[in-house]
Amino acid sequence: MLAQDWLNQRKQSLELMEWLLAFQPKELPPDLKEQLVRIGIKSLSPAEAYSALMGMDWALSEFKTLLPALAPEIQECLKLSDRLAVGSVHDTEFNGFAINLKDDQGIAIVFFSGAFFTLNMAAGLLCLAAEPQFQTRICDAGSLTFGIPNSESIRLMREAQLRYWWDSLKPSPIEFVSWNLPHFVRRYCDLGVSDTPDALRPFEPLPLPGDPKRYGHPLEASSYLAAYGRRFLLLHECGHVALNHLTADEKPVKPIAEREYEADRWAFENLIYAHKTEQEKAVSLLGAWMVLTTLKWFEEYAPIEAGSHPPAASRLDRLIVFVEDEADTRAEFRDDASRLLRQTAKLADDMHQASEQMRSDLAQIGDSLWSCIELCSLEGDTTAFRDQFPRWLLQGVPDKLSRAFANARRRVAEETASAAEINPQLALKQEMLDWALRAATHSNSQRLAAFIRATDYYADRAT
């Protein structure tokens, strides 16, 4: 079996089509339908829409656009073939990985569909809190890189619109956004999936290029920032391949942290190489900053185990040092790019500070899945859970979600065992969990069988 077959098999084993169809057999929710149309999935029967969604591969399409911009020897080293496969699979990890497959099958570079959504949301929150001038700068660079029209009249239109949004977010853009940040981070750390933050929801979806409403739209700048971030994620993994970090030998050549820093640096250098103008180069480095800052937000909530990957905070420090002192560019460029990074870091700090109260409030309540179940049962209406749960699955079923689901099952079982009679609230909790589990049980998918096994396992262990 060669790398490409290995990747295809992996894609198949992670798909959740049957589960999603069991939840929404006839009609997709209208807003989801609209989102899918926006990302090019025009077919609107749920079966066709989900199968197109599962087939979507952001990593491969982004990789194919980026590769021709790299140095000829790197293009040669990373040429797609049976023995070098690149693609995204349906799961929620934020970082991708590169693997040298056993038995000389070649190399696979794997990314996750969930990272696409998570990065969009993180960039969305940051840009919504950022001044119009900052957003304009990202849009100017992004239009160049991604071939979006950006005439003088478009720029004027953008400026006016951005100013309008900036003035309309009350009490201030930072405060408007900041209470969403802890929710977003907590959801990802508890369940391994991301929800579109409430602050972004009213603005979705971003109009397509050519639509006048796109220019200066609150999600325009973040769409480019996230795209540069995806380029960094891709280049980091490509760095592991190009730097020969993946030996067939089980024994790694260097300690993990050292390899990670090297791959980061390789990615920073290639971001600079791959983008033509200094304007784009600086903003592409901001894409790397966005990825590492998102990881830092997650690590502040749920610290990573010592000895695994180096902490995002120290990877960020190295990005700053690279830009200030080491990048092989004009000194003026380095000054300008480091000023941009520092200003953005200050904005992120301000957001973090403004969300202090919400963070401590959230620390008092149970995990995101359980709070959703409890709230629905108290309100006597399961609609929110039935709407929310399949949306999480659109990104995959991370282990954390299985674990939270198992915990919820255990809590309901305990409540049932100690209750004199099943009151309506408890009955609703049972109903929601049964609904989700029943849909998984009636399928032949390997992934769903694994989900049930995992929730059984965690439910047993928790008692």
Q: What residues line the site for Zn ion (CB under 5 A)?
A: 260, 263
Give the span between the Cα atoms of 86 and 63, in whole angstroms. 8
Residue 295: CB atoms within 10 Å: 20
CB of 108 to Zn ion, least distance (A): 14
Give the span between the Cα atoms of 13 and 6, in whole angstroms. 11
Which residue reads 């760095």 in tokens? Answer: 239
Nearest CB to Zn ion, comparing residues 19 and 63? 63
CB of 5 to Zn ion, least distance (A): 24
CB of 307 to Zn ion, least distance (A): 15
DSSP H or E segment with residue 99 = strand 97-101
Nearest CB to Zn ion, comparing residues 102 and 254? 254
Question: Length of the chain in residues, anyone?
Answer: 463
Nearest CB to Zn ion, comparing residues 95 and 441? 95
Structure tokens at 188: 């990802």
Find out whether 440 and 19 touch, Cβ atoms under 8 Å: yes
CB of 229 to Zn ion, least distance (A): 15
Nearest CB to Zn ion, comparing residues 101 and 292? 292
Find out whether 110 and 97 touch, Cβ atoms under 8 Å: yes
- Strand-pairing partners, residue 40, are none
CB of 257 to Zn ion, least distance (A): 10
Nearest CB to Zn ion, comparing residues 306 and 417? 306
Nearest CB to Zn ion, comparing residues 15 and 260? 260
CB of 98 to Zn ion, least distance (A): 8
Nearest CB to Zn ion, comparing residues 99 and 286? 99
Does the N-terminal peptide bond of residue 25 adopt cis geometry, omega within 30 degrees of 0? no
CB of 110 to Zn ion, least distance (A): 12
Find out whether 14 and 399 touch, Cβ atoms under 8 Å: no
Work out whether the CA dihedral 146, 148, 153, 154 comes out positive or negative: negative
The residues, ordered by sequence, that sit 6+ positions from 158 with a Cβ below 8 Å of its Cβ are 136, 139, 215, 216, 220
Q: Taking the CA atoms of the chain, what radius of gyration do you get in angstroms?
A: 23
CB of 314 to Zn ion, least distance (A): 14
Query: What's the Cα-to-Cα distance from 138 to each of 228, 390, 457, rounded to whole Å?
Result: 10, 33, 47
DSSP H or E segment with residue 167 = helix 152-168
Q: Which of 334, 207, 341 is nearest to 287 (CA)?
A: 341
Is 31 exposed, middle or buried, given 0-12, 13-18 or 19+ CB atoms closer than 10 A? middle
Nearest CB to Zn ion, comparing residues 118 and 143? 118
Nearest CB to Zn ion, comparing residues 230 and 409? 230
Give the span between the Cα atoms of 271 and 372, in whole angstroms. 41
CB of 240 to Zn ion, least distance (A): 6
Find out whether 237 and 111 touch, Cβ atoms under 8 Å: yes
Nearest CB to Zn ion, comparing residues 223 and 270? 270
CB of 147 to Zn ion, least distance (A): 29
